[in-house]
Structure formats: structure tokens, C-alpha cells
Amino acid sequence: MQNLKVEDTYFGANHTLRVKDKLMDLSTPKVMAILNVTPDSFYSGSRVDSEELIIERVKDLLSAGADIIDVGGYSSRPDADDISEQEEVDRITPAIEQILARFPDTIISIDTFRSRVAEEALNKGAAIINDISGFEVDPEIIHVASKYNAPYILMHMRGTPKTMQSLTDYSNLFKNIASYFSDKIAQLKSAGVCDIILDPGFGFSKTIDQNYELLHNLDTFQLLGHPILAGLSRKSMIYKKLGITPEESLAGTIALNAIALEKGASILRVHDVQEAKDLINLLR
């Protein structure tokens, strides 16, 4: 058997991403910070709604060591209200412009499932597409990713944020999700998307028990050969299980992120950057 280094044991296989004209080394996991330019995100600490608050928040996130800022203008919490494409564009494009004007080296991902929103964001300087729908809602988004050579985060979800929690029946959770990923990866590669990140979609069309089953077997998805993103931060699988609020869920988030890292996650998507960076450094 091949001898494994500590880094391999904790963090899985090494990967790189091409982000614009540079390579991002994922041999040490990266931290993606959540920035919601929405009024109804489930966690109030991630919401910003003015230029001053955006700049202040991003400054804090970057100072804490965020590697990627994930900008979202459409709330994906369960039962979230729908908004128009134009409203989403109007929320995210000024935010991206403001961030890059002040912090020009920032790597920004755009959290959207709409191709037009993604393209507007990439035109303003975003570098990565984070699509919760797995291009089910708008298949054209993969061609936008290909056109801009943008890494694409492929998440597993059934239905929409309004319907997803009624779609939690699986014949075999892992086989179903692995099959979904395999089919989608083939389509992405056929469209010319080279850099693909897999997100199993914690909290999306999964029960609390299914979320924990998924987490404890997260390393299974390393067999697909792409980096894994874990988005566990302050989610209902923590606060509902413990009978607390999202605001009280930091300790639970850290605990679950530690498991995700040990199971091979290469990117942690979080609200609390400093704690995630400290965790990564402790496990190295």
C-alpha cells in the first residue's frame, strides 16, 4: 500500500484550479466566505445591503484569510421568495464592482443558477460560478462557464429552494448522487468546462439524517476525481438537531467542518472565516 502523508490523510488528493490566469493550489484547503447581498438570508450575519457595509464586511473577511468571496443575490434558503433576473443582476453587479475597486486581487465566485446573472458577474470581474441547481434551471450557464474559462461548482439538489425539502426520497443516497455527478461532469466536459468542483448540497433536498450520512461518507466522492466543497456553515442540520439558532451554531459548524476536512473537502464555504482558517491550520 502506498504510504500517505499527514496532508493526504486529512485532506485527500491534491488538486489545482485554474482561476483566471493563475493556478489555485488546493493541497491545503481553501476558505470560501459567504457574502449575501439579499435581505432574507437565513443567517443575519452574512447579509449586507449597502456599499459601506459590503466594503467593511469584505475587508474583515479578507483580513481573516478568506481565499474566495462568494457573492449571492438570490436567497436559497428553504421557502425563499423568488426574485426577477434583473433584480438579482442589480444586487450583485454593484457589489462585485465595489469589491474589486477596493480589493482588486480578490477572487470572487458568483452564487447563481441563471446564465445571464453569471455572465454579468464574470464581465464585472468574478472568476467562479457557484450553481446550486447543477444547471437544471438554466442549462446555458455551463456555456457561460466554458466561454470565460471559469471554474464551475456543481451542486446536488432536487427541485427548487421552494420544493427541495419535499424531494428527499432516494433509492440509494450515495449511488443516486454519484450518478448525478457523473452525468453532469460528462456534460460539463463536453461543453468545454475544465475545472469542476463538487458540492454534495448539504441541506438541499436532504433530511437531517441524510445530511449526516452524507458527511460521514464524503470521501466516497473523491473517486470522481474533482475537488469537493463542503457548505455546512450554520445550517439547519446543526441548529435544528441541537435545538438552537443559526446565531448559536458556530461550535457545531467547526465540528462538522473538521469532519469534512478529514473526509477530503478541499474548500469550506463558511460565514466565519477566522475559525475555518484556524481549523485548517490545526489539522495540517
Per-residue pLDDT of the chain (284 residues; tens, 9 = 90+): 333 333 443 444 448 899 988 999 999 999 999 999 977 554 455 456 678 889 999 999 999 999 999 999 987 766 667 789 999 999 999 999 999 999 999 999 999 999 999 999 999 999 999 999 999 999 999 999 999 999 999 999 987 777 777 778 999 999 999 999 999 999 999 999 999 999 999 999 999 999 999 999 999 999 999 999 999 999 999 999 999 999 999 999 999 999 999 999 999 999 999 999 999 999 98
In a domain? residue 6: no
Mark whether 59 is an active-site residue.
Answer: no
- Annotated active-site residue in 30, 184, 235, 263: 235
Q: Which CATH number does the domain housing residue 58 bear?
A: 3.20.20.20
- C-alpha 46: how far from chain center: 14
In a domain? residue 139: yes
Q: Which three cell numbers stand for residue 45?
A: 450575519
What pTM was estimated for this model as a whole? 0.90
Biggest CA–CA distance in the chain, Å, is: 55
- Annotated active-site residue in 30, 91, 158, 269: 269
CA distance 222 to 220: 5
In a domain? residue 160: yes
CA distance 176 to 250: 31
CA angle 270, 253, 238 (to 5 degrees): 120
Mark whether 116 is an active-site residue.
Answer: no
Range of the domain at 197: 28-283
In a domain? residue 22: no
In a domain? residue 80: yes
CA distance 248 to 246: 5
Q: What is the mean pLDDT of the chain?
A: 90
- Phi, psi (5° rounding) for residue 16? -130, 155
In a domain? residue 166: yes
Among candidate residues 66, 129, 70, the one with its CA nearest the CA of residue 280: 66
Q: Total domain count for the chain?
A: 1
In a domain? residue 3: no
In a domain? residue 1: no
Among candidate residues 205, 207, 226, 230, the one with its CA nearest the CA of residue 217: 230
Half-sphere exposure of 107 (CA within 13 A, CB side): 21
